[in-house]
Amino acid sequence: MLSTTLSTALNRQITLEFESSNLYLQVSSWCMQKGLEGCAGFFREHADEERMHMQKMFDYVNETGSYAVLDPMEKPKNDFESIVEVFKITYAHEQMITKEINNLVSIAFKEGDFSTFNFLQWYVEEQHEEEQLFKSVLDKIDLIGMAGNGLFFIDQEVAKMRSEMVTESAG
């Protein structure tokens, strides 16, 4: 059974993962409205992935004999100035999630809950990949630029990245 401290922290993370899913789903809708189908698919895929992260943690909490509880969630931002703003916000969001996961790992380690510590290692690796991915999109945006057909090419690059993500997760 999880300690009260760890149970509370994991439940908070469950809600954060759900909020991440909602944010990415909302961003996907914004991208569709702007004709950015590649970006919309990318964020839709991430929304599904974040829901899976939430469900995995939700199941773990319940499997330990604790009680998974969803807290109220923040409404996601739904209006953006540009695709650059979208990726800056989502990259910052992933950095925040990484800090929260690291905090969970620290709590599990301090409490000597090595089962939970081990369980969380998957999230540590996942967050490393997420930050790297979102940073690489921002790097591509910087390289391509927004002038001329830049937005079109950015959308195409993000669509390509999504396609590679889907291929990797299927394999």
User: Residue 1: its pLDDT value, please?
Assistant: 86
Average pLDDT over residues 33-45: 96
pTM, full prediction: 0.92
Alpha-carbon distances, residue 75 vs 16, 21, 26, 110, 147 (angstroms): 12, 11, 10, 33, 32
In this predicted model, what pLDDT tens digit does every residue of 83-92 receive, in sequence order? 999 999 999 9
Number of domains in the chain: 1
Question: What burial class does residue 12 get, using C-beta atoms within 10 Å of its C-beta: 0-12 exposed, 13-18 middle, 19+ buried?
Answer: middle
Whether residue 168 is predicted with pLDDT greater than 70 in this model: the reply is: no
In this predicted model, what pLDDT tens digit does every residue of 46-88 receive, in sequence order? 999 999 999 999 999 999 999 999 999 989 999 999 999 999 9
Whether residue 163 is predicted with pLDDT greater than 90 in this model: the reply is: no
In this predicted model, what pLDDT tens digit does every residue of 116-134 receive, in sequence order? 999 999 999 999 999 999 9
- Residue range(s) defining the domain that contains residue 47: 4-170
User: What integer best gives the mean pLDDT of the chain?
Assistant: 94
* CATH number of the domain to which 95 belongs: 1.20.1260.10
Average pLDDT over residues 143-169: 83
